[in-house]
Amino acid sequence: MEKLELIKDYAKTLKLNYLNTNASNLIEDADIKDLSYQDLLLNILKNEIILKETKSQERLLKNAGFPVIKQIEEFDFNFQKSITSKQINRLIELEWIDRMFNLIFLGPPGVGKTHLAIAMGLKAVEAGYKVSFVSMDNLMHVLKTQDISRKSKGKVNSILSSSLVIIDELGYLPITKEEANMFFQLISALHEQASIIVTSNKGFEDWAELLGDDALTTAVLDRLVHKCELFNMTGKSYRLEHRQSIL
């Protein structure tokens, strides 16, 4: 076996994917630039780290389950004035995740709650945190079917092992008493173990009707708001105000 092929074989065995793929080019580049052995090794190791970090980011992004990609930079603070860029810039430092604080975005449809939740989740992924995004409707489905569906069980396990869990659209669809109990159990399991972002079109005063039990609602809110930043977002729907037409 030629030395180059042997290098590639060893690199594959050691899972040095950058070296395995680029061994020939690395050697040619070192010859052209007359690199020292140290510089060559540094170049290899640096690019191995970059490749591993890139692949890790891709896995975290895929596993997060964002329905769309929303960036903080795309958010229109001139349209949505109930939250400031200063507040958001403080949040994207992500200290609140390390301290296991929660974020709750309340307000009518179209004011930017989900945009901010996804954008925060994306920043967390970029920083290397494990994130799980799930709509309330889908959350109820996976919780109810986790004992009979491997896919649902995998999603629940992923949620429970995340540093940040985003629960979107709480209150848009009615839930049963059984589902409310499962939701409480999940919030209890995540309490002080992960940060949670919740978006909801219902104010706290309406959660008792939504969950169907005053005591259970108090217990859920007690866990969510114990360490929490609350944002009451108001105003018109951005989507309606910026409606596009083909005619």
- Model confidence pLDDT, tens digit, residues 98-110: 999 999 999 998 8
Where do the structural domains in the chain lie, given as residue ranges? 3-63, 72-242
Q: Which residues contact 164 (CB under 8 A, 6 or more apart)?
A: 97, 120, 121, 124, 129, 130, 131, 132, 194, 195, 196, 197
pTM of the model: 0.87
Average pLDDT over the chain reads 91
What is the structure's pLDDT at 4? 86
What is the structure's pLDDT at 102? 97
In the predicted model, is pLDDT for residue 243 greater than 90? Answer: no
Cα dist from 110 to 153, 154, 156, 204, 206, whole Å: 32, 31, 28, 19, 19
In the predicted model, is pLDDT for residue 30 greater than 70? Answer: yes
Buried b (16+ CB within 10 A) or exposed e, 209-224: ebbbeeebbeebbebb
User: Average pLDDT, stretch 62-88?
Assistant: 91
Contact 179, 144 (CB under 8 A): yes
What is the structure's pLDDT at 173? 87
How confident is residue 237, by pLDDT bands cut at 50, 70 and 90?
low
Q: According to the CATH classification, is domain 72-242 in 2.60.40.10? A: no
What is the structure's pLDDT at 225? 95
Alpha-carbon gap, residue 115 to 215, rounded angstroms: 31
